[in-house]
A and B are shown apart, each in its own frame.
Chain A
Amino acid sequence: MEDQEFLWLEQARRGDQAAFARLVGAYQGPVYNLCYRMLSNAPEAEDAAQETFMRMYTKLHTYQPERKLSSWLLSIASHYCIDRLRRRRGQWISLDEEPVAATLPSQNRGPEDLALRAESRDEVQRLVDMLPAAYRVPLILRYWYDLSYAEIAEVLGLTVQAVKSRLHRARLQVIEKTPASSTLAMAPAGVLGVR
């Protein structure tokens, strides 16, 4: 953890709200993105991300400095979103809900490019939505956070072997649910090399 963040954390532990607000500012992006990818609904993701920071605030004393602050926060957010998905199961989904109405970083792109990106984004999110929560989290942590097996295991409290297995199963399900004709499954030429 950076010295500055450590200082904010210590100040926040002593009740300094301004310091905590700076920590929220530093981590709001990763936490919100995880919540959005898990819940696939912008207002719900924002609420979940806020709830994550509130939990973090009340549990600051349990944070152990040898652990990465981002891992700890992502762990709180993941578990909260999994709980929320469990509660959501069995509930009716409103027809007014727009599952992909999220805020994208503003970039100066043409309308065609934006439309293409939105289509691809929706398709990616639809695939993620099809996965059970247990497979969804490791996949999100792998692709949007570039975490290693060991780091994902730390965030989720799993063994490395379990992470490896869940990612494998997640991919099998993604492929199974992706038609060969889908743009998602079309490989550019000459990409057969193993990394």
Chain B
Amino acid sequence: MHAEYTMLMSVALDDEATPAEQQHLRDHLRTCAECAGVWERWQAVDRRLDAAPRMIPSAGFAGMVMARIEAQSLKPQRARRLNSRLVAVLLAAGLLLALALTGSLLYWGAQNPTQVSSAFFAALRGVGTATWVFLGFLRLMGGVGAPALAAGVGLLATLTCVFSILWLWVVGRSHAVITGQASAS
């Protein structure tokens, strides 16, 4: 059998062959007895598949679907449209909050350099606890909507930025405090 012709046979059975392809296949089948035999088998199987009946569901099928919808209190979901103005306002508010927090922390750190490290680790513990509470809440609610997720991610991103800046500042400040103490002693 010529393997390259089976694709043509398949396309011909699907009525998707061009007239040129049909002619090409016809010409080949006239000269190749083996491929003609294969084509015969393909056509026979095609005919059986074509004649196979369509199955139908049991009576009362639609009623059963509606009963399941009712039992599970399913409702058609509404299309969610992202309000771009709201997103811009939320982003700007987040940025302002991040700047205000960073400024306040830097100012407080400059006034109380010795308490920075303990405050930093206390804040870290606070974030850890808040994360666990947030995750527990999600599990309890069984999911989370897009606005809540965006707010959560925004808050985490802001906190990450704040603590990164604070960390750099703490490292620099600690170095200055240590070298200052060393030179004083």
Which A residues lie at the B interface, using CB under 8 A? 12-15, 17, 20-21, 24-25, 28-30, 32-33, 36-37, 42, 45-46, 49-50, 53-54, 57-62, 102-105, 117, 120-121, 123-125, 127, 139, 142-144, 148-149, 164, 167-168, 171-172, 174-175, 178, 180, 184-188, 191-192, 194-195
Total number of B residues with any Cβ neighbor in A under 8 Å = 52
Binding-face segment, B51-59, B124-132, B166-174: B51-59
Which B residues lie at the A interface, using CB under 8 A? 6-7, 9-17, 22, 25-26, 29, 36, 38-45, 47-58, 61-66, 68-70, 72, 74-79
B40 to A: closest C-beta gap in Å:
5
Q: Which 3 interchain pairs have the tightest Cβ spacing?
A: A187-B44, A32-B57, A168-B10
Closest B residue by C-beta to A51: B68
- CB-defined contacts of A58 to chain B, threshold 8 Å: 74-77
Closest A residue by C-beta to B21: A194
- CB-defined contacts of A164 to chain B, threshold 8 Å: 7, 10-11, 14, 16
A137 to B: closest C-beta gap in Å:
14
Contact in complex: B65, A54 (CB < 8 Å):
yes
- CB-defined contacts of A20 to chain B, threshold 8 Å: 66, 69
Known contacts A32-B61, A49-B61, A167-B10; A21/B75 CB under 8 A:
no
